[in-house]
Amino acid sequence: MAIGFTFTFTYKIMSKEKILVIGACGQIGVELTLELRRLYGGTNVIAADLREENELIKGTGPYVSLDVMNKEMLHVQVIRQGITQIYLLAAILSATGEKNPNLAWHLNMQSLLNVLDIAKEEKLTRIFWPSSIAVFGPTSPKKNCPQQTVIEPVTVYGISKYAGEFWCNYYFHRYAVDVRSMRYPGLISYKSSPGGGTTDYAIEIFYAAREEKKYNCFLREDTYLPMMYIPDAIRATIELMQADAEKISVRTSYNVSAINFSPNEIATEIKKHIPEFTITYQPDYRQAIADSWPQSVDDSVARKDWGWKEEFNLATMAKEMLNNI
């Protein structure tokens, strides 16, 4: 009886939402769109991107071609489609951002301000906008980096994420926009390609291991970084978005953590499956970016507030990646 009641209640809450995913053809967007469509129904989740529709989401629900920088068109879509929630994923990531800092700042900031303004005006129920471990800089603690600490990012991407966190906080306190955020670690996935980050080596290495049995890594062997397998990231995102508002004590962005490893450790794990695999190291400009980030973060606040807990560790993630590539 109790189980039946809970299920019906949950379904009713979910069924009235109409969701817009902006950046739906990116590394996270594809998998997040598919999972949201499974939960809320295909027609209730509108995928939007500048790019051509991704093959994996084709036929699973509506798709619109949209530039998030065009605020008027975005506003029209929100009204026309009766949107109640937005997941904003469009951004330029750390490595690409260093090649074009002005563009990265412009896209990462203006897209968020456009969405927050429309959310305020149209009284949208919830907004999701991801931050990153890239908010932390060389002066932040390297190990178990706390939720609140010294934060002095040195990449344009990190600066944009840190500023964005405070815009989220501002819109929540000033205009009651229920915007939620987490600082994703480097995300590892195989369904859609990564979009120009420093942690992308942890995906490339699996493809290289399968295809060539060797990998030339652009980071040093001992470069520890916080990482997460994408099913955990998608679940974390939806759990945060579905949590009761009174459980959300952080209105900037939550630390979330799962797996911390170095290129040497992931190579050792891959060798358990492909013994002839070899790795070489040729650090490039991305080494300095990685060196400015923490090796691990303390996510105890997310665990306490909304019950975050990862499922995948290095061994289970690597096994799944190799089985699916």
CB of 14 to ligand NAD, least distance (A): 23
| Separation of alpha carbons 50 and 23, rounded Å | 7
Smaller CB separation from ligand AKB, 44 or 199: 199
Which part of the chain contacts ligand AKB (CB under 6 A), choosing from 17-25, 192-200, 230-238, 264-272?
A: 192-200
Residue 257 · residue 311 · CB < 8 Å: no
Give residues with Cβ within 8 angstroms of 295, minimum separation 6.
142, 143, 224, 225, 226, 260
Give residues with Cβ within 8 angstroms of 91, minimum separation 6.
23, 107, 108, 111, 157, 160
Interactions with ligand AKB, residue window 214-273 (CB under 6 A): none
Tell me the backbone φ, ψ of residue 64, rounded to 5 degrees.
-125, 140
Does residue number 192 form part of the binding site for ligand AKB (CB under 6 A)?
A: no
Extract the tokens encoding 300.
């105890």
Binding mask 70-99 for ligand AKB (x = CB under 6 A): -----------------------xx-----
CB of 134 to ligand NAD, least distance (A): 7
Q: How many helices (H) and strands (E) does the chain have?
A: 12, 14
| Separation of alpha carbons 212 and 25, rounded Å | 27
Does residue number 108 form part of the binding site for ligand AKB (CB under 6 A)?
A: no
Give the residue numbers annotated as catalytic, written as ranges: 157
Which part of the chain contacts ligand AKB (CB under 6 A), choosing from 28-36, 127-135, 273-281, 314-322?
A: 127-135
Interactions with ligand NAD, residue window 50-79 (CB under 6 A): 50-51, 66-69
Does residue number 137 form part of the binding site for ligand AKB (CB under 6 A)?
A: no
Which residue in the set 153, 197, 263, 294 belongs to the binding site for ligand AKB (CB under 6 A)? 197
Rg (alpha carbons) of the chain, rounded to whole number: 19
Interactions with ligand NAD, residue window 265-324 (CB under 6 A): none
Does residue number 158 form part of the binding site for ligand NAD (CB under 6 A)?
A: no
| Separation of alpha carbons 231 and 94, rounded Å | 22
CA distances 41 to 11, 37, 62, 216, 274, Å, are 11, 5, 11, 42, 40
CB of 100 to ligand NAD, least distance (A): 12
Binding positions for ligand NAD, rule: CB under 6 A = 22-23, 25-29, 49-51, 66-69, 89-91, 93, 107, 130, 132, 184, 186-187, 194-195, 197, 199
